[in-house]
Amino acid sequence: MIFFNTYIGMMVQIEMMGDRDKIGYLIDVGPDIIVIYMEKKYLYIPIAHIRNIALQADDKMNTESPPAPVKQTGEISYNQILNSAIDRFVEIYISSNQTIHGYVRHIAQDYFVFYSPLYQVMYIPLFHLKWISPYQTYQTPYSQVQNQMAGSSSDPTFALLPNTFDQLLKDLEGEILCFDTGLHANKMGLLQKLNLPFVELITADEKKLHYNIQHIKNCIPFKK
């Protein structure tokens, strides 16, 4: 991504897929992810979700100061950032103008396990993560201490999880769950069966719906 090296340290505007534009200082660029500093936090944005990047014209209304100098390596990657976020309190964005706060617990081949104090265990396809932003090490969600958060990356059950998201859904056949954070009633119900690339979901009113798994942004099981 040498193309963007001349922008490092400068304010840029990023048009994104599935989220509002981001305006901040470009900090670093890797082969599949960039880092910007905006609103006093660092956002790690996978390049796959960027429509375009442009230098931001001088804006006298903008009062944000640039961050302290950061050493750019040009070697950061999406996988590296996710691995460094394991068991660290982070904010993530997937869709629907809603950020989620919690911890990355495990990374599989094409999805990761996220623990949220609100939603509990979530399975999120890697492709649908729009950005991730780490909090300071002393911060915890809702003023809870870290050891009050359920689970950790050392949980031995993670080793038993399937490698891929479609295999995971296959294992969840017969379970009550929700897709896409359960924001729509039609995305909550019994996962009847998987028939790639679709899953069959039976809602509370016994309606049968079929969802293409490529468009499922997250899955939350309601296991006891």
Report the domain count for the chain: 2
**212 domain residue, yes or no:** yes
pLDDT at 165 over 60: yes
Please provide the distance, in angstroms rounded to a whole number, between the alpha carbons at the two ends of the chain: 46
150 neighbors 189 (Cβ within 8 angstroms) = no
pLDDT tens for residues 109-146?
Answer: 999 999 998 899 999 999 999 999 999 776 766 666 55
The pTM score is: 0.89
pLDDT tens for residues 3-29?
Answer: 778 889 899 999 998 889 999 999 999
**129 domain residue, yes or no:** no
Rounded to an integer, the average pLDDT of 173-182 is 94
pLDDT tens for residues 41-75?
Answer: 999 999 999 999 999 876 555 666 777 666 666 67
Range of the domain at 14: 2-55
21 neighbors 29 (Cβ within 8 angstroms) = no
Rg (CA), the chain: 19
From 72, 1, 73, 70, select the one nearest 32 (Cα to Cα): 1
**181 domain residue, yes or no:** yes
* Torsion, Cα of 126, 132, 136, 142 (10° steps): -80
**37 domain residue, yes or no:** yes
The CATH code of the domain that includes 32 is 2.30.30.100
Cβ-count burial of 210 within 10 angstroms (0-12 exposed, 13-18 middle, 19+ buried)? exposed
The CATH code of the domain that includes 207 is 2.30.30.60
